[in-house]
Chains A and B, each alone.
Chain A
Amino acid sequence: QVQLVQSGAEVKKPGASVRVSCRTSGYTFTNYGISWVRQAPGQGLEWMGWINAFNGDTHYAQTVQGRVTMTTDTSTSTAYMELKSLRSDDTAVYYCARRPAMAPFDYWGQGTLVTVSS
């Protein structure tokens, strides 16, 4: 069965960086993209960007462009999201999701809470 398993919760200070991993299984990793979505406490869903696992192409939302880097390791079927220059308003649960071509996200990770606090 398809599974996306994310790394554990992180606490970071303002200005630091965080890297969240998303280990996938149960499907051919390079046949799909991986999107990242975050949700601040009590708020809605914000799409951050996606990476094409086949060729590594990325597309980032303007709200995080310049601070976010999405990568993949095809040898371990794992996707990574790194966010730099963290601010308090980056505190959120970060989700990875499988992205089929021209279709909504069909499988999601369990979420990773990133807390940014001094």
Chain B
Amino acid sequence: DIQMTQSPSTLSASVGDRVTITCRASQSISSWLAWYQQKPGKAPKVLIYKASSLESGVPSRFSGSGSGTEFTLTISGLQLDDFATYYCQHYNTYWWTFGQGTKVEIK
């Protein structure tokens, strides 16, 4: 089974900061990676798909990069609305695996 490992687990940042979250796969997954944002008590919302494609309606301050085994989610200019937990997810035809999550907190 492919394992997804995110770092850091928690990140403290201020409004306006540039924030980067890393996700590593235990083996190559090409670009089959998505990023989700989840707020307390709500379902996750997809931000990025195929490693770097921005989902429709998602602000352009969110960006994704990487391929193979290492991926990053960057938030350029953190907004109050962005304080949440972020998950990476590997997806393919039959199987999906989530990373353990990164909580972005207010410093």
Show the binding face of A for B, using Cβ within 8 Å: 35, 37, 44-47, 50, 59, 62, 95, 97, 102-106, 108-111
Contacts and interface: CB of A to CB of B under 8 A. Distances in A.
Interface extent on B, as a size class?
20 to 34
B52 interface: no
Interface in B21-41: 32, 34, 36, 38
Contact of A104 (B34, B93, B94, B99): B34
Interface of B: 1, 32, 34, 36, 38, 43-46, 49, 55, 87, 89, 91-101
Contact of A59 (B34, B91, B94): B94
A108 B87 CA distance: 15
Contact of B43 (A59, A62, A102, A110): A110
A113 B55 CA distance: 28
Contact of A44 (B32, B43, B46, B101): B101
Contact of A47 (B43, B55, B96, B101): B96
B51 to A, nearest CB: 11
A110 B44 CA distance: 10
